Amino acid sequence: MVAHSNADQADQVLPRVGVKRRDQAAMALQVLFLILVAVILFGPLILLALFSFNDSHALNLPITGFTTRWYTDAIENERLREAIGNSVKISIIVMPACLVLGTAAAFGITRFEFRGRGIIGGFIALPLVIPWLLTGVGALLFFNALNISLSLLTVGIMHTVVAFPLVAALVAAQLYRIDPPLEEASHDLGATHLQTLRFVILPLLIPTLAASAVFVFIWSFNNFIISFFAIGFDNTFPIWVFSSLRRSGNVPVINAISTLVSVVQIALVWAAWRYLRFRSAQRGQDVREVIAGGTTA
């Protein structure tokens, strides 16, 4: 009897040990995968910041000395300041334009029934799937055919054309998941369509609109391919970086200013994420569901 009891206990313990080992192996693989992703995503940025303090023009290890003069040179570079200013101006204009057009397109697709709605929705989404290189070349040919001089204005137009469909997709996903009874209850209580939009729908869209605004601003600031074909003789930050890389002496300055820009953008994304989490927590929602189009119940 004792031997039989011991055998039963062993049979019960062995499966538990096997499950525990599988769980540990799965956890180890997950950790390794996350480390690999982190290295791929943040490794170049860390090296960029590291070499921005290197007292040498060469990108070689070990570092020959510590210096901050590259940051001083970057800040004092007039053409660089002008390029960054142009990128900021374009992004500030493109961001609200994309929010307005994207939100209007999302409402048109999700709130109105009309013939050809699917075709129009697909047409709006085309800029998301067409390669940026083709879009840039097409923009160049289009503006030349109309005898429109390339400038910061044409860059802003093309950035808006390419970026607003993403805003439309995010807002439409959120609109699809807003409970129809919320709007019906608003109308039953005497609210007009405009009041329902202002006091019911838009507050539920604020986190999604905020996330879209941050993405559009950063995307427009960093875009190179479309800007390269649509800008003419002006400069934006990515184009300045591209043209400056032709001279090896500019590499440390590029490392320094790119580190500063990356830090500012990371801080902007972090602040937006904190705001979205705060707004979502007020409604008892998960911020990931709000951004991706989760339920609003």
The 10s digit of each residue's pLDDT in 252-269 is 888 888 888 888 888 888
Domain that holds residue 118: 77-292
Residue at 9 is within a domain: no
Whether residue 98 is contained in a domain is answered as yes
Residue 90 lies in a domain: yes
H-only helix segments in the chain: 2-51, 69-76, 78-111, 117-129, 132-145, 152-176, 180-188, 193-196, 202-222, 225-230, 237-244, 251-282, 287-292
Give the separation between CA 168 and CA 120, rounded to whole angstroms: 12
Residue in the block written with tokens 């029934």: 113
CB atoms within 10 A of CB 71: 18
Residue pointed to by tokens 């427009």: 220
Average pLDDT, the chain: 81
Share of the chain above pLDDT 70, in %: 82
Domains: count for the chain: 1
Q: Using an 8 Å Cβ cutoff, are 98 and 160 in contact?
A: yes
132 occurs within a structural domain: yes
127 domain residue, yes or no: yes
Check whether 123 has a pLDDT greater than 50: yes
Verdict on whether the full-model pTM lies above 0.85: no
Q: What are 54's strand-pairing partners?
A: 66
Check which CATH number belongs to the domain holding 123 and give it: 1.10.3720.10
Residue 239 domain-assigned (yes or no): yes
Establish if 176 belongs to a structural domain.
yes
Contacts 24+ apart (CB under 8 A), 276-285: 276/207, 276/210, 276/211, 279/206, 279/207, 279/210, 280/207, 283/204
Lowest-confidence segment of 85-99, 154-168, 211-225, 262-276 by average pLDDT: 262-276
AA identity, residue 169: A
Q: 145 in a domain, yes or no?
A: yes
Residue 266 pLDDT? 85
Tally Cβ neighbours within 10 Å of residue 137.
Answer: 14
